[in-house]
């Protein structure tokens, strides 16, 4: 005898959330502890929020006006610094809108056994950890959801010439997670300068993630005395402190829990054999708290004039 169901009792498949990802990095940052850092960063934007967020970024451009490329290491001009501050305000006030998410991964190259990555050290290191950054960002910001990544954009650089990087990251992530699908099977490399022929309107999002990762490094490493950069970094500093000290605080006024992420790797120096051992890598692990050298600098300044 057959069981006849008048109604479909299977749980309906949830429609996939559509997102786009924008990526950039900064490298060769050596701080006063003689640590050399490489920072990878991704900006995740839900498709339904994209036009709204883009308009928020473009509106202050029109008011100044300022059509320049915004890069963290180049904020000397008053108009660039002012625009950078307005963009940071957008990040700080996005708690309700939830129009942007970001994940920053700092790699302490001084603690990595670099020969383990072969002849193309930068490309191989970047390929391996970029995949981890993308997967971590997606899984933390959008847990238990089916996701369609419409596009993964990356600032033009050496990565575009790497044999595996433009496609291998996408292939590996889909192999690891059945709920993540990439509509575009290749990373799309675009110029971060929207004014260039190979730039586009989305270049503004590359500039935003460059600003966020650059300010994070400035707060953590403080390798430049650029006053304009420091002024903008001071606005960002309270959020970064909370991201590190209490990443899961759902009551934060910034709404940063599962939305704005930062982590570092590794905790201790790894030999070649340890780097290849998953258990040893896990023991060394990712961590989330580091000294803020900008905070030390600001405290020293205050004590001088106290």
Lowest mean per-residue pLDDT among 8-17, 59-68, 90-99: 8-17
Q: Given this model, what pLDDT does residue 3 score?
A: 42
When pLDDT is cut at 50, 70 and 90, the band that residue 6 belongs to is: very low
pLDDT of 163-188, one tens digit each? 889 999 999 999 999 999 999 999 99
Q: Given this model, what pLDDT does residue 163 score?
A: 83
Task: Report yes or no: 186 and 219 within 8 Å, Cβ to Cβ.
Answer: no
When pLDDT is cut at 50, 70 and 90, the band that residue 263 belongs to is: very high
pLDDT above 90 for 253: yes
Sign of CA dihedral 274, 276, 281, 283: negative
Structural domains of the chain in order of their starting residue, each with its CATH number? 17-304 (3.30.420.10)
Q: Given this model, what pLDDT does residue 232 score?
A: 97
pLDDT of 137-165, one tens digit each? 999 999 999 999 999 999 998 888 888 89
**Pairing between β-strand 17-30 and β-strand 36-46 as defined by DSSP bridges:** antiparallel
Q: Given this model, what pLDDT does residue 76 score?
A: 80
Q: Tokens at residue 55, please?
A: 């308009």
Q: Given this model, what pLDDT does residue 94 score?
A: 98
Q: Tokens at residue 135, please?
A: 């997967």
Mean pLDDT for the chain overall: 90
pTM, whole model, 2 decimals?
0.91
Most confident among 7-16, 200-209, 267-276 (mean pLDDT): 200-209
* Best CA proximity match to 214, nearest among 102, 138, 302, 299: 102
């Amino acid at each position: 005898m057959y069981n006849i169901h008048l109604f479909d009792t299977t749980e309906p498949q949830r429609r996939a959330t559509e997102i786009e990802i924008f990526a950039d990095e900064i490298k060769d940052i050596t701080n006063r502890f003689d640590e050399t850092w490489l920072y990878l960063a991704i900006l995740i934007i839900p498709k339904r929020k994209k036009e709204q967020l883009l308009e928020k970024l473009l509106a202050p451009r029109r008011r100044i006006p300022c059509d320049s490329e915004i890069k963290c290491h180049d904020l000397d001009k008053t108009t660039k610094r002012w625009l950078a501050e307005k963009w940071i305000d957008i990040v700080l006030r996005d708690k309700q809108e939830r129009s942007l998410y970001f994940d920053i991964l700092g790699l302490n190259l001084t603690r990595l056994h670099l020969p383990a990555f072969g002849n193309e050290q930068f490309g191989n290191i970047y390929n391996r950890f970029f995949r981890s950054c993308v997967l971590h960002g997606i899984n933390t910001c959008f847990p238990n959801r089916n996701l369609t990544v419409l596009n993964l954009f990356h600032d033009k650089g050496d990565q575009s010439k790497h044999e595996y990087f433009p496609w291998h990251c996408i292939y590996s992530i889909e192999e690891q997670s059945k709920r993540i699908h990439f509509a575009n099977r290749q990373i799309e490399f675009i110029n971060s300068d929207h004014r260039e022929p190979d730039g586009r309107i989305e270049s503004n999002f590359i500039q935003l993630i460059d600003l966020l990762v650059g300010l994070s490094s400035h707060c953590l490493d403080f390798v430049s005395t650029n006053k304009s950069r420091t002024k903008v970094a001071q606005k960002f500093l309270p959020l970064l402190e909370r991201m590190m000290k209490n990443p899961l605080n759902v009551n934060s006024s910034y709404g940063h829990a599962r939305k704005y992420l930062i982590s570092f790797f590794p905790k201790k120096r790894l030999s070649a054999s340890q780097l290849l051992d998953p258990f040893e890598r896990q023991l060394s692990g990712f961590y989330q708290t580091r000294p803020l050298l900008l905070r030390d600098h600001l405290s020293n300044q205050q004590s001088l004039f106290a």
